[in-house]
């Protein structure tokens, strides 16, 4: 799988290989949304990735969707992340922060004012949030006003500036997996009748505004954008995937972003449509078959050979194998990920996965 080990450029970054560590929420920011020394060790161990994309980071208080997730909207959070980026850079790695506003995926217990989560329309996700006292159903969100939308765009830009201040090499805007930007894209979660809803041109508006604001704040060469066409996470439904993502790619293309990150859902024909319309680097989390299996190195190498990707994002394999490039070159074996320790907890299932001997 030599394709995985060829260098590639994303923006102004020169990656030594095409193996990207996908963003994975780990829910271990227990102290006011601040990451810990343990987080720094977790990412340092995986600095052999061509690029690390961090776990999702909320750009504002109202952007939080889960317990114990980290932020980049307070000075103390910025200082805490600096220890992480310093550790990664000392190990000769590169790291982007993924910025994610969860939108309607949230609950009043997360917010100091006890207010509702927000979304493009007053439609609940149908899902629930983990809480030690039991699962909490997501409530019907408060529909965002134009002022709320403008504030959210500004929050993304401010958090991007904070990310650079914290030492990140750039940021990835999370427009996927059922969160706020994706909620605006989907015609099942966005039934607005103003300039942010209805037509495809209107539903992509918020995504394009966020991407432009972040690129203006820190430079397009430091800005990536993630999408998940046809992914129904968080109850988001899209009835017009090819038209929707064709238009979104056309709107993002002139910005000159560092990369577009596609989370595939067994719909390679849509990936090809995006690849054909995207002029820059494309990072693919490859799922050519919708079977729910984690993306594999073999899937990634095949996507590179097929020309539908410039780099490959893998998730669970990086989580369980901090020395993943070495294991791929050796043909394995691979550690199995412990699902029970994915979220919350201590070092177990976080920084204690073994590396190959020798």
Cite the active site residues.
Answer: 179
Cβ–Cβ < 8 Å for 192, 121: yes
Nearest to 95 by CA among 35, 59, 33, 49: 49
Nearest to 316 by CA among 335, 330, 331: 335
Neighbours of 239 (CB within 10 A): 9
Cβ–Cβ < 8 Å for 117, 102: yes
List all residues 6 or more positions away from 27 whose beta carbon is below 8 Å from its beta carbon: 66, 67, 68, 69, 343, 344
Q: Report the sign of the C-alpha dihedral through residues 32, 37, 42, 48, in that order.
A: positive
List all residues 6 or more positions away from 39 whose beta carbon is below 8 Å from its beta carbon: 26, 28, 29, 70, 84
């Amino acid at each position: 799988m030599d394709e995985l080990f060829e260098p590639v450029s994303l923006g102004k970054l020169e990656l030594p290989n095409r193996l990207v560590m996908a963003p994975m929420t780990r829910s271990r920011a227990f102290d006011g949304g601040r990451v810990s020394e343990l987080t720094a060790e977790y990412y340092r161990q995986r600095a052999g990735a061509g690029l690390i994309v961090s776990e999702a980071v909320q750009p504002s208080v109202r952007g939080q969707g889960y317990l114990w997730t980290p932020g980049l909207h307070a000075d103390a959070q910025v200082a805490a992340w600096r220890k992480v980026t310093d550790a990664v850079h000392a190990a000769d790695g590169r790291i982007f922060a993924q910025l994610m506003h969860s939108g309607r995926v949230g609950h009043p217990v997360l917010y100091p004012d006890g207010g509702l989560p927000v979304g493009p329309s007053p439609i609940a996700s149908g899902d629930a949030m983990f809480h030690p006292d039991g699962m909490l159903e997501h409530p019907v969100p408060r529909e965002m006003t134009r002022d709320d939308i403008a504030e959210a765009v500004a929050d993304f830009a401010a958090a991007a500036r904070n990310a650079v201040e914290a030492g990140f090499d750039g940021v990835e805007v999370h427009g996927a997996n059922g969160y706020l930007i994706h909620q605006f894209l989907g015609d099942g979660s966005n039934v607005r009748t103003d300039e942010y809803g209805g037509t495809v041109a209107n539903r992509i508006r918020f995504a394009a505004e966020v991407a432009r604001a972040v690129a203006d704040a820190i430079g397009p060469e430091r800005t990536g954008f993630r999408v998940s066409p046809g992914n129904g996470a968080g109850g988001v439904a899209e009835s017009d995937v090819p038209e929707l993502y064709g238009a979104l790619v056309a709107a993002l293309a002139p910005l000159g972003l560092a990369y577009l990150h596609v989370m595939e859902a067994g719909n390679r024909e849509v990936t090809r449509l995006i690849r054909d319309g995207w002029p820059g680097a494309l990072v693919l989390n490859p799922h050519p078959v919708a079977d729910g299996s984690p993306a594999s190195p073999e899937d990634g190498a095949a996507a590179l050979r097929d020309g539908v990707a410039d780099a490959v994002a893998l998730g669970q394999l990086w989580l369980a194998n901090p020395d993943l490039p070495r294991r791929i070159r050796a043909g394995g074996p691979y550690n199995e990920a412990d699902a029970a320790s994915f979220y919350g907890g201590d070092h177990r299932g976080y920084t204690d996965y073994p590396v190959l001997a020798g």
